[in-house]
Amino acid sequence: MKKVIKYTVLFVFFSGCFFNANYSATIDGVWIPEKIVWDSPEIEELEDTKYAGIIIMHFLNDGTFKMYKCLVYYVGNGLLNISVPEDFAIYKGKWKKENDKEIVITYKEIFRTIEVERMDGKKTSSENITELFFLERHNDIVKLSNDKIVFIRSNQFTEKSKTFMSRW
């Protein structure tokens, strides 16, 4: 009887560890939208060029968060190149795991190519924004989502783009 209880306790312990491991994924790295809507110029010579306006989220191990509202070009071999469009913005802040499935991000705008003023006259960069994201595992893919968009981890950037992100 003691052996049955002992093995039952061990089974429950290890199966609990196994099921919790499904959600204890790391968050650090660069995340892009899972679904990107690509555009192409209406110029015949550039019809193979693909670009999209996206948000890139960058989580660092130290709890720092960066977000880029930018344009990316698909340059082949699965690589993306970041471009600074007319309406480009950078946000910085902090992130923390509330639990294994929830990530809280607090950030504010630190740079924008076009100055935006709200109806009350305040600049958008003066306020902190807090968002809640959910960390989910689908098979071997970890996804990060809120009620608007789903992000996946990506390291498929050109060296120029990686350098760009590291400088901010």
Contact between 35 and 43 (Cβ < 8 Å): no
> Using one digit for the tens of pLDDT, what is the confidence trace for 20-49?
344 446 789 999 999 999 998 787 777 778
Q: Is the pLDDT of residue 121 over 90?
A: no
Q: Is the pLDDT of residue 150 over 60?
A: yes
Q: What distance in Å separates the CA atoms of residue 128 and residue 104, rounded to the nearest whole number?
A: 13
CA angle 118–64–24, rounded 5-degree value: 115
Q: What is the pTM of this model?
A: 0.77
The structural domains of the chain, ordered by start, are: 26-167 (2.40.128)
> Using one digit for the tens of pLDDT, what is the confidence trace for 58-89?
999 999 999 999 999 998 888 999 998 778 99
Contact between 35 and 55 (Cβ < 8 Å): no
